[in-house]
Copies of this chain bind each other. A is one copy, B any other.
């Protein structure tokens, strides 16, 4: 499994300081920004279509988060994506699209009009893109009978992108190759926005490496290893949040390896 990872990207993000433009939801932008900053990336967020072109020029990678999408923000996203002539890598985080036809329709429209590098979502969200029945409950992943590996592959092939399906087990696939990550802690579930942060962290890694599949696998592994290490060092939800931020800023490749 380790052959798929390039742990040197961990230091490369800290060294290159990639600018990640995130179009955030209104709930967790601070966590996302601090998470990016902690790993050594430079976060920027924007809500004005008027600056879309400049923001795109500035950015090394882009994350679109649909967590509290509304009409105005949808217009802004459309404007921003039109300005991505240089084909900078883009991550889509289709938050809770299993719970809202409005969100689902917008996500599908985005995926039809633009080529995303990565879609990062939980089982319910990726299942919705595969048109598979799934019992979703808002932002939770929900439960269902279908084979998640197949669902992830279907979506990857449908939209010619990498799918990062996160949960107790993370499934990462480009349609051909599949990488399984078993690192997990229940604190990720309790902490609202864990997925939002990961989506933007993946974008940071895409911003420093052209091998997008390996970058996505590595970002997810480093991120979850950081969470697991933090869980070992803390004894409560609040403490874990603190330790997780400590570790995002300081974890070394060798420590990631020792968690694996």
Indicate the member of A137, A138, A247 with the most B CB atoms within 10 Å.
Answer: A138
Q: Of B26, B30, B55, which contacts A47 at CB under 8 A?
A: B26
Query: Residue of B at shortest CB range from A40?
Result: B190
Interface residues on A, range: 35 or more
Query: Residue of B at shortest CB range from A76?
Result: B70
Tell me whether B29 and A27 are in contact (CB under 8 A).
yes
Q: Does A159 contact B (CB under 8 A)?
A: no
Tell me whether A96 and B44 are in contact (CB under 8 A).
yes
**Could you tell me the distance between the alpha carbons of A47 and B133 in the complex, rounded to whole angstroms?**
25
Tell me whether B30 and A45 are in contact (CB under 8 A).
no
The segment out of A2-10, A111-119, A143-151, A233-241 that lies at the interface is: A233-241
The number of times this chain is found in the oligomer is 3
| Complex interface residues of chain A between 1 and 33 (CB less than 8 A to chain B) | 17, 19, 24-31, 33
Tell me whether B236 and A246 are in contact (CB under 8 A).
yes
Q: Does A54 contact B (CB under 8 A)?
A: yes
Tell me whether B192 and A102 are in contact (CB under 8 A).
no
Query: Residue of B at shortest CB range from A34?
Result: B192
Q: Does A257 contact B (CB under 8 A)?
A: no
Q: Does A169 contact B (CB under 8 A)?
A: no
Query: Residue of B at shortest CB range from A103?
Result: B51
Tell me whether A30 and B33 are in contact (CB under 8 A).
no
Q: Give 6 closest A-B pairs by Cβ, nearest first.
A: A236-B246, A238-B245, A44-B138, A238-B242, A51-B100, A50-B102
